[in-house]
Amino acid sequence: MIRIALADDHKMFAKGIAGLLEEEDDLRVDGIFSNGKDLLDFLKTHEVDVILTDMNMPVLDGAGVLEAIKKTSPKTKAIVLSMYHDEAIYNRSMKLGADAYVLKNSDPDELIYTVREVFEGNYLPSYSKLQQQTESDEYTDYYKLKFQLSKRETQILRMIKNGMTNKEIAASLNLSLFTVEAHRKKIHSKLKVSSVSELIRKAIDIGI
Amino acid sequence: MIRIALADDHKMFAKGIAGLLEEEDDLRVDGIFSNGKDLLDFLKTHEVDVILTDMNMPVLDGAGVLEAIKKTSPKTKAIVLSMYHDEAIYNRSMKLGADAYVLKNSDPDELIYTVREVFEGNYLPSYSKLQQQTESDEYTDYYKLKFQLSKRETQILRMIKNGMTNKEIAASLNLSLFTVEAHRKKIHSKLKVSSVSELIRKAIDIGI
DNA sequence: GAAAAAATACCCCAAACAGGGGATTTTTTC
DNA sequence: GAAAAAATCCCCTGTTTGGGGTATTTTTTC
């Protein structure tokens, strides 16, 4: 039996995940919390095998949880739940000792699989696994078909969504600023938007 | 027994909500779908009392679901689940015949309460109810305390997040463009961000 | 009712974005 | 291997943001 505790400030989502995991015979959710502090308090008196934590939480965020866990109960495995396909957040999580990084809009089976593998100690986190999570998502596929974004466009859209400027994107991909601007114009026309804010919103909606 | 069917493209979330509702003795979830079309297909052969639907879905979105439902099974009540505290989306939902509009980051009890009231025919949707949903959220409270955003700042942040430009916001609130810019600068310094994209992301993180 | 906070409005300047065009090279597809 | 699509780069122009000020009026708070 794999004992689990989780923290996520979106209560509906937290309860949701818990129900999902409880359906599995070998998984048991012992605690559901909506911030990191409540989770850590719980862990003072209860032992679990795996914790799932969101990064953005009030009072004590995911980073704080990871740090504390690695100190106080190093045997406990930690899986980060994140809304963002963002390399910077991914790297920060790993540095803080996370054992896995799962996107919130990935398939529920993906999460269950990861919990088991992490528990067994067989899971080797990598950024390419994160790539796969978004790529295997059938709905992203649908939108890819609907909006016909090319690979480069998808990549750049993701970077814009993650808060990067055209200049930063150009530097990061070794492209001319003009090229990035050209891609951006194409993205705008394909997604029928005309500003960053609309763009980001659309990107979130279609789960890119 | 209130019979429910729901559609949301975030599978984890959909399964989550379902589990949450199933915990109540008087609620039963007969179908969980990840797009509007699958939900409508189900409704051809099954009768339910209340449907819950996300607005942003592939294949057939929430608007399409509402339109179809009101035609084919007008007795079925429809509740819109939305990520966005956005008056435009709210109004569109209502125009299309939604019986209620519930935010995804509101309290689970809020949703359960709304399902029951809508089923009983006692629920009168209003935009002020939407206001309450965000305001009663304890975590938004936490962030309000942390970042000390004023009312006006919160309002403007929400409008920026919803894709409006300073000019549009100024026009909509009957303010000078300078004023909106001034507020925006304050918001930036309070949230420690320096661009729209970071701003929107932060707004989503703190659930505004 | 005085002090503090919020909301309002304005100026300046530099940086970033948005949209219009055109053109070449590389890669994919059939 | 020809045609189509994707990716690259450049120019021009106007709009929108971002950050630095200052200052007055309105509202809140104690």
A118 DSSP 8-state letter: H
What residues of chain B score a pLDDT lower than 50?
Answer: none
- Measured in angstroms, the CA of B187 and the nearest CA of chain A are apart by 16
Q: Does one domain contain both B64 and B161?
A: no
| Cβ of B172 near strand C (distance < 7 A) | no
Å between CA of A195 and C1' of D16: 10
Q: Does one domain contain both B13 and B104?
A: yes
**Structural domain range at position B57:** 2-134
Domain CATH for B83: 3.40.50.2300
| Cβ of A200 near strand C (distance < 7 A) | no
Contact A198 B163 (CB under 8 A): yes
* Last residue within a domain, chosen from B102, B134, B166: B134
Q: What is the pLDDT of residue B117?
A: 96
Å between CA of A147 and C1' of D5: 15
Q: Does one domain contain both A22 and A103?
A: yes
* Last residue within a domain, chosen from B90, B114, B134: B134
Nucleotide nearest to B196 (CA to C1'): D17
Pairwise CA distance, residues B80 & A190, whole Å: 27
Q: Does one domain contain both B153 and B175?
A: yes
Q: Does one domain contain both A10 and A111?
A: yes
Contact A16 B11 (CB under 8 A): no
In degrees and rounded to multiples of 5, residue B59 shows phi and psi of: 65, -70
Nearest to B10 by CA among A49, A148, A20, A150: A20
Q: Does one domain contain both B6 and B97?
A: yes
Chain A contact present for B190, CB below 8 A: no
DSSP notation for A24-69:
STTEEEEEEESSHHHHHHHHHH---SEEEEESS-SSS-HHHHHHHH
Pairwise CA distance, residues B91 & B84, whole Å: 12
Q: What is the pLDDT of residue A137?
A: 59
Q: Does one domain contain both B130 and B159?
A: no
What residues of chain A score a pLDDT lower than 70?
Answer: 135-141
Q: Does one domain contain both A71 and A108?
A: yes
Q: Does one domain contain both B173 and B122?
A: no
| Cβ of A159 near strand C (distance < 7 A) | no
Å between CA of B134 and C1' of D18: 29
CB contacts of B204 in chain A (<8 Å) are: 83, 204
Beta sheet of A50-54, edge-to-edge order? A27-33, A2-7, A50-54, A77-82, A100-103
Q: Note the strand D nucleotides within 7 A of protein beta carbons.
A: 5-11, 16-23
Scanning A106-135 for CB atoms below 8 A from B yields 106-108, 111
- Chain A residue whose CA is closest to B19: A19
| Cβ of B176 near strand C (distance < 7 A) | yes
Pairwise CA distance, residues A196 & A64, whole Å: 31
Q: What is the pLDDT of residue B106?
A: 85
- Measured in angstroms, the CA of B70 and the nearest CA of chain A are apart by 25
Chain A contact present for B205, CB below 8 A: yes
- Chain B residue whose CA is closest to A22: B19
Q: Does one domain contain both A172 and A78?
A: no
- Measured in angstroms, the CA of B59 and the nearest CA of chain A are apart by 8
* Last residue within a domain, chosen from A135, A150, A165: A135
Q: Does one domain contain both A54 and A148?
A: no
Domain CATH for B183: 1.10.10.10
Chain B contact present for A13, CB below 8 A: yes
Q: What is the CA radius of gyration of chain A?
A: 19
Nearest to B133 by CA among B114, B120, B116: B114
Count the domains in chain B: 2
DSSP notation for A126-187:
-HHHHHHHHHT-HHHHHHHHHH---HHHHHHHHHHHTT--HHHHHHHHT--HHHHHHHHHHH
Q: Which of B6, B10, B11, B38 would best serve as a mutation to test chain A binding (most A beta carbons within 10 A)?
A: B11
In the block, which residue shows the tokens 């991914």? A90
Task: Give per-residue pLDDT as tens, A157-206.
Answer: 999 999 899 999 999 999 999 999 999 999 999 999 999 889 988 888 88
CB contacts of A161 in chain B (<8 Å) are: 197, 201
A20 DSSP 8-state letter: H
Q: Does one domain contain both B117 and B172?
A: no
Q: Note the strand C nucleotides within 7 A of protein beta carbons.
A: 5-11, 16-23
Complex confidence, ipTM: 0.85
Å between CA of A150 and C1' of D7: 10
